[in-house]
Amino acid sequence: MTPTALFADIVLPAATHFEFNDIGHYGLGHGCILARPKVIDPPKDCRPDIEILNELGKSLTNEQYWYKDYNELLDALLEPAGHNFNSFAEKGYLKGKDLFEKFTSSGFRTPTGKVELTLSRAEKLKVSPLPQFNDDFKEDPEYPLVLTSAKSRYYLHSSYRWIKKLRKLEDNPTTMINPETAEKHGIKEGNEIFIETRYGRITQFAHLTDTIHPGSIQAAYGWWFPEGDIETGYEWKKSNYNILTSTDNIGKEFGTPNLKGISCKISRK
């Protein structure tokens, strides 16, 4: 169970990708698909996603559109290549024919079919035809530091916080602070600190390093605590970077909130 899963009305026990046969990464542009045969059976009450969807399909629509055994779907997918899943697994992978300079015959996937140095639909979408520097950041005496973030080498966004080996490598949410900045705020290595923006406040732990500019701090993101109380969503609000952001001013081109360059302040807890 995770804080994200807690928002669902129904949570089904799904098998991991090691516990069912599958085909790796079809639909990507590199032209390869990989056999992913299972290495172990799933626990008794767990089912592969593909089986769950197949059975839901039978319940919601005519059964003739679905498979008695979900593995038959993999065979059907591989049939045009002259394989079933077993023969595909023995081979290991399939690779399509290399195609170079495809644009000479079919153009590019743009409205004009050409390389667009400016956005041809800019007027229709009411956005700039070229990327522009957005100088929304304003110095704020009350929030004098610039907040940024970066991915962790040990986790995938908010996933895998429950794996003990990874938690030993990065056991708590850590904010990187320049020693000069830390001294001004009475903060020492390992201190628990408050990070605050105009949108919210969280706590993390200080790590002092001169690789960070004195005017900035770098906070960890994606944090929640599996050891925490399920009633509070495993304390996901305690140290979660999203609390410091806002959707009030999102980038129109991509529809994303501002995740970096946010005015903030810090203090020792």
The proportion of the chain whose per-residue pLDDT surpasses 70, expressed as a percent, equals 97
At 122-138, the pLDDT tens digits run 899 888 898 877 666 67
The secondary structure of the chain in percent helix, strand, coil, rounded to multiples of 5, reads: 25, 20, 55
Please answer whether residues 129 and 197 qualify as being in contact, where contact means their C-beta atoms are separated by less than 8 angstroms: no
pLDDT of the residue at 115: 93
- DSSP code, position 200: -
Tell me the helices (H) and strands (E) count for the chain, helix number first: 8, 9
At 47-61, the pLDDT tens digits run 999 999 999 999 999
Please answer whether residues 264 and 196 qualify as being in contact, where contact means their C-beta atoms are separated by less than 8 angstroms: yes
Between CA 152 and CA 221 the distance in angstroms is 8
Please answer whether residues 207 and 175 qualify as being in contact, where contact means their C-beta atoms are separated by less than 8 angstroms: yes
At 245-257, the pLDDT tens digits run 988 877 777 777 7
Distances (CA, A) of 137 to 51, 243, 261, 265: 49, 19, 7, 15
pTM summary value: 0.78
At 162-218, the pLDDT tens digits run 999 999 999 999 999 999 999 999 999 999 999 999 999 999 999 999 999 999 999
Cα dihedral 149→151→155→159 (10° resolution): 70
Q: Is the pLDDT of residue 99 over 70?
A: yes
Residues 6+ apart with CB under 8 A from 124: none
Phi–psi pair at 104, nearest 5 degrees: -65, -25
Q: Map out the domains of the chain with their CATH numbers.
A: 11-95 (no CATH), 145-268 (2.40.40.20)
